[in-house]
Chain A
Amino acid sequence: MIDLAAIGIPGGIILTGVLLVLLRDWRFTVPALLAQYLLVGLLVGGSVPADTRLLGFDLSSSTLLQVVTGLTVAGLFATTSLRLERARGIVSDYEAELDEFALAALRRRQRLAVRAAAENTSRRAVVLDYLLPSTALLISGIAAYALSAAYPVSVRGEGLVNFSFYWVILCGVFVLVLARDIIKLSEGLLVTLNGLSLLLAALATRGGLLVEGLTAAITIGLAAALSYLWVAMYERRRSLSLEVLRDE
């Protein structure tokens, strides 16, 4: 009989990796990130004994921490993205304080950023939006398969768990490398960090509640810091594109 959890959870983790690498709209990538956290939490729960009872369910505290972390991170990212979308067209406090020369310089930079984005859209869109991420996924798939065969990490010999660990790490790295805006960069960092939890699950070990708690705290702190950077950068340049950073 096929164990749905044994296939479904790693399969779901692989699917979320595909979504995170391929898509650019935060409305899809942030839920994919949340789903990945929840699925990794379930995988962790399957590898360590339950030690908490919540709403009638026996749960592992590691799972609970992973779920809470995922919800908080996704909540932070979604709220910040929404706030930035609604801030379009509204003059920020920072802009209001600028003198006319600085304001003109800001407008010029915005025009340049828009023009660069338009050029990218027309000339390199196919390559940057689809071809590179698809190639990255292909490379990740082959590399994850080869690595999981050569260096299996799962103590129970589950091929899909092995594969999903390498897959998540590689997807995180590719999201980072291919990121064109600060949101994707942030997601790449968190996906890579998530690989650590997956490794613990694959090895069926626990770092201890203190370590898991600290990891959750630093993940949430990192997400909060990144959200702050999004807002601060958007306030100053009205753009989240990494191109803006390369210009100066």
Chain B
Amino acid sequence: MSSLLLALIFAPAIGAAVAFILRGRQLLAVATAVLTIAAQGALLAFTPDGRGGLLGLDLQLGPLERLYLAFALVPLLAAILYHARVAEESNALVTTALAVNSGASLVALSQNPYASAISLLASSLVLSLGLVAVSNRRAGEAVTTLLPVRPFAAALRYLSLATLASVLLGVALILADYYRLNPDQRGLLKAAFAFLVCGLALRLGVVPFHYWLATLFDPGRGSGLTGLLAVGSLSGAAVLFAAHTLAGLPPLLLQNDLARLATQGLGMGGAILGAALAYAGAERRTRILAYLYVADAGVVLFGLGSGTALGLSGALMTAFGYSLSVPLFLVSLNLVEAGASALVVRAGLVVAGLSLVGFVPLYGFAARYQLYAAAAQLGWGWLVALLLASLLMLAAVARHFTPLLFATATTSSTGQAASDLRPDLSVTLLLLVLLASSIALGLYPAPLTGVIGQWVRGLGWLL
């Protein structure tokens, strides 16, 4: 069992190492990544639920972890495919994406929260380096133009915030451990919860800790694939980490009424402000897209802090769903802005935007419905606030992305003449699969709600 669980963590790490060695040969590097993803998928399918470990690190694979790991393969595949077929990025992206997947696997499987927090930081570190490498060097080519330094600013910002988030999460875990030894010291519990919430808000990009997210999606060069990996893979990992931490110490939520209320307020306020930023923004559309995820991060934080089974379940579903919505949204947006007018690309943009907002009958609705129910359980005021945030997000999507749908191929979104870009067959297939998944899981979410709901109900102490 241990060897299989370790293989789930080390297979992408080994793939990343091989891709790094082969980074000068794009085809081989991409083939390595595809083989690694296939191996990871096979391992996930055939490894039974169970526990294992190595050198004192306890690992556990359950249905929830399996679900997250399966979802995490989607942004990985999408980033590599888009990089290989469309984007002009270096092969460092393949290495980065695989390394991030390895880190996310460790976060999901590890039973040691410290190891998970460190793994989150390690993944961010790799992404930061990838951002600089991706943005500055195409293997084997001389760079004759002056390269922008904005990717450095984005990398430094992300690295700084990831480090600060890890420090906050580390302090939260240390205080929580100390509370376990001294349960009479209730103040420790409050402090641990406050540090956990702030660390998580930083990691997810909740307002006012959000600026790094916009620069990851729009780093000044490249296609924002680093943002895709950061939100598509690592946000889900961070929420899973938070869920495991809360499950490991129920008093964190149960005996912190005021702090729970503050968390709900921070999350909901962040959602409304993020949505307002997205609506009012006059920046590049990739930044608007980032603000939409900033708003959604607030909704996720609200769900986590709600202390209800539905809220926790909705937060997990929403965060896991980023694996579908971020690739669909970003790839469609990049293609449309590049001049593609194919139906599948425009449909991708529509479905991704509406799914993110939580529109029927898409995946986002299945997740958002649980959050609406949780908000109603807490009081009508919360429900109204959540509806307001969703409406603002919808207005932002309509304002910024609808014009793209009606732009003709010859004018493109920027108003400049552009030829009708025909997306590659593999990219078209990717978009179709993502589209079909978003609709299918929206119409029939039972497999997901079953797994997540069973895990949440297993906790037994939530409202």
**Chain A: residues with CB nearer than 8 A to chain B?**
94, 97-99, 101-102, 105-106, 109, 151, 169, 176, 182, 185, 189, 192-193, 195-196, 199-200, 203, 205, 207-211, 214-215, 218, 221-222, 225-226, 228-229, 232-233, 236-237, 244-248
Docked Cα-Cα span, A221 to B177, in Å, equals 26
Known: A185-B160, A208-B56. A99 touches B144 (CB 8 A): yes
| Interface members, chain B 144-159 (any A CB < 8 Å) | 144-150, 152-153, 155-156, 159
Assess the A98–B144 pair: CB atoms within 8 A: yes
Whether B122 contacts A218 by the Cβ 8 Å rule is yes
The one of B132, B148, B174 that contacts A203, using a Cβ cutoff of 8 Å? B174
Taking a contact as CB atoms under 8 Å apart, the answer to whether A211 and B114 are in contact is: yes
Q: Does B112 contact A (CB under 8 A)?
A: yes
- How far is it, in angstroms, between the C-alpha of A189 and the C-alpha of B162 when the chains are bound? 10
Partner pick for A233 among B118, B152, B166, CB 8 A cutoff = B152
Q: What CA separation (Å) do A46 and B142 show in the bound complex?
A: 55
| Complex: chain B residue closest to A207, CB-CB | B114
A215 to B142, CA, bound (A): 38
- If A98-B145, A199-B174 are given as contacts, then 6 extra A-B residue pairs at C-beta distance below 8 Å, sorted by A number, are A192-B163, A193-B167, A207-B174, A211-B114, A228-B129, A233-B152
The CB with the most chain B CB atoms within 10 A, among A195, A205, A211, A233, is that of A211
Question: Does B282 touch A at the CB level, under 8 Å?
Answer: no
Asked whether, in the complex, the Cβ of B145 is within 8 Å of the Cβ of A195, the reply is no
Contact of B265 with A by CB under 8 A: no
Interface residue B448 (Cβ < 8 Å from any Cβ of A): no
Asked whether A233 lies within 8 Å of B114 as measured between CB atoms, the reply is no
Instruction: Please tell me if the beta carbons of A209 and B56 are within 8 angstroms of each other in the complex.
Output: yes
Q: Contact partner of B146 among A102, A176, A192, A218, CB < 8 A?
A: A102
The prevalent SS among residues of B at the interface is helix
A185-B156, A196-B170, A218-B122 are contacts. A236–B147 as well, Cβ < 8 Å?
yes
Q: Taking the complex as formed, is B178 at the interface, i.e. its CB lies under 8 A from any CB of chain A?
A: yes
Q: What are 16 residue pairs bridging A and B, where the CB atoms are less than 8 Å apart in the complex?
A: A98-B143, A99-B145, A151-B191, A185-B156, A193-B167, A196-B174, A199-B170, A207-B177, A208-B114, A209-B56, A218-B118, A218-B121, A222-B125, A229-B155, A245-B153, A248-B153
For the complex formed, measure the closest distance between the CB of B311 and the CB atoms of chain A, giving whole angstroms: 29
Residue of A nearest to B119 (CB): A214
Tell me whether B42 is interfacial, beta carbon within 8 Å.
no
CA distance A189 to B166 in the complex (A): 11
Give chain A nearest CB distance to B13 CB in angstroms.
Answer: 14
A210: nearest chain-B partner, CB-CB:
B56
- Bound complex: CA of A245 vs CA of B149, how far in Å? 6
CB-CB nearest in chain A for B177: A205
CA distance A59 to B152 in the complex (A): 41
What mask results when residues 2 to 26 of chain B are scored 1 for a CB within 8 Å of chain A, else 0? Answer: 0000000000000000000000000
Q: Are A210 and B112 in contact (CB under 8 A)?
A: yes
Closest 9 CB pairs of A and B: A102-B146, A245-B153, A211-B114, A99-B144, A97-B142, A196-B170, A105-B146, A210-B56, A214-B118
- Residue among A97, A105, A196, A247 with most chain B CB within 10 A: A196
Q: Which residues of A contact B55 (CB under 8 A)?
A: 210
Q: Which of B125-142 contact A (CB under 8 A)?
A: 125, 128-129, 132, 136, 142
- Residues of chain B with a CB closer than 8 A to A203's CB: 174, 178
Q: Are B122 and A221 in contact (CB under 8 A)?
A: yes
- Cα distance A182–B181 in the bound complex, in angstroms: 41
How far apart are A175's CB and chain B's nearest CB, in angstroms?
11
Distance to closest chain A CB from B354 (angstroms): 35
As a 0/1 sequence over residues 45 to 67 of chain B, the CB contacts with chain A under 8 angstroms (1 = contact) are 00000000001110000000000
> Does B248 make an interface contact (CB < 8 A)?
no
Q: Is B220 an interface residue (CB 8 A)?
A: yes
Contact among A97, A102, A245 for B152, CB-based, below 8 A: A245
| Measured CA separation A40–B148 after assembly (Å) | 39
* In the assembled complex, B171 has its CB within 8 A of some CB on chain A: yes
Which single member of B57, B153, B164 contacts A192 (CB below 8 Å)?
Answer: B164
| Nearest B-chain residue to A169, judged by Cβ | B167
- Name the A residues within 8 Å of B145 (CB-CB): 98-99, 101-102
Contact of A232 among B125, B136, B144, B148 (CB under 8 A): B136
A169 to B168, CA, bound (A): 11
Q: Which of B328-357 contact A (CB under 8 A)?
A: none
Q: B173-200 CB contact bits vs A (8 Å, 1 = yes)?
A: 0100110010000010001000000000
Residues of chain B within 8 A (CB-CB) of A189 are 159-160, 163-164
- CB-CB under 8 A from B143, the residues of chain A are 94, 97-98
Compute how far the CA of A215 lies from the CA of B118 in the bound complex, rounded to whole angstroms.
7
For the complex formed, measure the closest distance between the CB of B137 and the CB atoms of chain A, giving whole angstroms. Answer: 9
For the complex, is B439 an interface residue (Cβ under 8 Å from A)? Answer: no
When the two chains form their complex, are residues B148 and A248 in contact, meaning their CB atoms are under 8 A apart?
Answer: yes
B182-223: CB near A (< 8 Å → 1, else 0) gives 000001000100000000000000000000000000001000
Q: How far is the CA of A199 from the CA of B128 in the complex (A)?
A: 27
Least distance between B282 CB and chain A CB atoms (Å): 19
